[in-house]
Structure formats: C-alpha cells, structure tokens
Amino acid sequence: MVAEIIDGVKIAAELYAETARRVRDYVGRTGRTPVLATVLVGDDPASRTYVRMKRNRCARVGIESRSVELPADTTTAELVARIAELSADPAVDGILLQHPVPGHLDERAAFEAISPEKDVDGVTMRSFAAMAFGEPGFQSCTPGGILRLLDACEVPVAGRRAVVVGRSPILGKPVGMLLLARDATVTCCHSKTVDLPGLVREADIVVGAVGRPELIRGEWIKPGAVVIDAGSNPGNIGDVEFAAASRRASLITPVPGGVGPMTIAVLLAQTVQAAETR
C-alpha cells in the first residue's frame, strides 16, 4: 500500500478562490472592504515573515490588512489596551495577535482582550468553548484547516478512532474538540502518555501536533489509517516518519504542502465570515 497524498496547497487554493468570491459579494452589498488587523510585538524574523505572508494573501483575496507593530519591550497592559482598541473599532472585522509573543508578556491575557466576534484566529477561551460544544464561532485556524482537509478528501469521522499527539491550546486540544464534535472517539496523547505506540496503532485517524521531528514512527500506523501531520520542525520535517508511514496509511499529508497552507486560508475565510456576521 502506498498512501495517497493530501494536497493542502490545492485545497487551500480552492478555499482562497471561494473567499475572494465572498469578498466581492460582500463589497458589492455593503460598499466596504473586510479588514483584518494583525498585531506583531517585537521583531522576531519568523513572525515578521508570517505576518508578511498574511498581508500578501489578504491583498490577493481583496481583504484590507491593517498592521499594528509594537516594540519588544511593550508591557502586557499596553498590549491588552491596544487590542481592546481594535476590538472596539467598528472598521476592524478580525484581529490576529501573532504568536508567540515575547516571553515577558501574558499571552493569554492578550488573547482574551480580543472581542469574540473578531477572534478570527480562534484563540480565545470563548472560541475554544464553541469548538468543544459544537456551537457557532471561529475555529482555531490550523485545527479548522485539518477538518477541511478531511472533508475535502471525504474522510468519514463519525465513529472513527482518532489519536491526537500533542495538547497545545491552539492545536492539539482544539483539533481534539473538533473531532469529538464530529462524533469521533478521541484520545489526546502527550508527554505523560503510557504506550504511545500502542494507542497510535489503534487509530483510524492520526494527528501529529506535538512539534517533535518524526516522533510518530511509520511502523505504528494502522494499515489504511489517515495521517495528518501538523508538525513544523526545522528542515521541513514533520512529526510523522513520512516515508515509512506512507507505506501503511491510506491518506497522508506531506510537510510542507499539507496542513500548513490551510492555516492562513482558514484565517481569511473566517475574517470574511466575521464581516458577514457583523
């Protein structure tokens, strides 16, 4: 068996095209352009590159991008106040705080300053609750992108056993909640998990979301399982041993070109959703 590759670039392109159409329709109806405000604290090169990518993608689909850049010595109070201003600004539809922020800042306090109606990155506790309870709201972008990949490939989720390796608040936990809301039986694994190989071997759907290169070995993969690798490690190496896993899985995402392209695509789709809802 050789796994079919899930082409995240192609699926993201389809979502961008749909988002661009929705933007045109929205502008035609309202006479205004959706606005995404991006907040960047400090001068981390990777974060600056990511913000630039978002700005370029906004331009391609017709969303206006507003950049807010703050110095690295910004205090938590100053950051929260700036985000609160954006939350109160009627011209802004969505707010993204580029993370991680400098270590001295209370990132959670900053996230919670984002109005839930503008949390298009799905990082507030209210958005997490909506994902957990299957209520309307914004999904965390990478987990939301993973569910869109599964849908695009017509992967059945209800009744399947899903193992998520990783429990971060913006990836592992929310993707587990989204899968559970789709009636999967979900096991969330982490550094204290006993017999990780045995649990992975039972999974119909495996999500690598831990940030450790090739932690998930190919020999652990159940024949015919669907493997979603959300890992992003130096050297473009995922969390899954790709070559070996490809010989056992039915579907698998590559790194790069799998989950990654979906993150910004979902962010922009949710920005238009925020504008439409308002």
Question: Is there a contact between 142 and 172 (Cβ–Cβ < 8 Å)?
Answer: no
Bond before 254 cis per omega within 30 degrees: no
Between the CA of residue 273 and those of 29, 39, 93, what are the distances in Å? 14, 20, 9
User: Which one is catalytic: 93, 98, 119, 239?
Assistant: 98
Bond before 100 cis per omega within 30 degrees: yes
User: Which one is catalytic: 121, 204, 229, 239?
Assistant: 121
Catalytic residue flag (residue 273): no
- Torsions phi, psi for 28 (to 5 deg): -65, -35
- Alpha-carbon distance 28 to 40, whole Å? 31
Catalytic residue flag (residue 183): no
- Alpha-carbon distance 47 to 142, whole Å? 16
Catalytic residue flag (residue 222): no
Q: Which residues contact 267 (CB under 8 A, 6 or more apart)?
A: 36, 54, 94, 96, 120, 121, 141
* The two structure tokens encoding residue 44: 């981390």
Catalytic residues, by residue number, are: 54, 98, 121
